[in-house]
Amino acid sequence: MPVRTILIAVGLFLVATQAGFGEPSSTPAKYRYTGWMVATEQRGGWPTHLLVEGDAGTLRFADRWNLTKKPVAYRVCVRRNHARVGPCKVATAPISTRPSVVPMFVSCCGDFVAYWYIAGRLVASWPFRYVAEHS
């Protein structure tokens, strides 16, 4: 069998097996702990780096490989860019890979970074811009 035919067959197999896993998750999947922001539920819950004033922004956090069967407590803090302090909230990530959801708790407008901590250790961050509705 020619090499080109084999490569095409392998490529088609990979595409078919990837398609068989269902819809892609909106959770960025690279690390055990993942934090991100979602602007509104109406947009499908996709991660974004832009929040418009008036949107129901939420901060999401997921624990992809929790083998302990015990929910993980975490702290999420949101700071303006280059600021040392900002408001924080405490929440718990479910045992499943579904995300924990915390409503946005800072006021518009500016450039921010959300930081997620477990036992005082930084495990995720997400930069975003919060803009006025009519800017």
Residue 126: beta bridge partners? 114
| Three-class SS state of 128 | strand
Q: What percent of the chain has pLDDT over 70?
A: 74
Q: Tell me which residue of 78, 23, 77, 26 sits closest to 47, measured CA to CA.
A: 26
Q: What is the pLDDT of residues 13-64, one digit of tens each?
A: 333 333 333 334 454 556 789 999 999 765 567 899 999 998 889 999 998 8
Domains of the chain plus CATH, in order, are 25-131 (2.60.40.1930)
The pLDDT value given to residue 113: 97
The pLDDT value given to residue 41: 62
First to last CA, the chain: 61
pTM over 0.75: no
Looking at beta carbons, which pairs linking 83-88 to residues 24 or more positions away fall under 8 Å? 86/112
Q: Tell me which residue of 112, 18, 117 sits closest to 73, measured CA to CA.
A: 117
Task: With beta carbons less than 8 A apart as the criterion, state whether 21 and 29 touch.
Answer: no
Mean pLDDT of 76-105: 92
User: Cα separation of 106 and 104, whole Å?
Assistant: 6
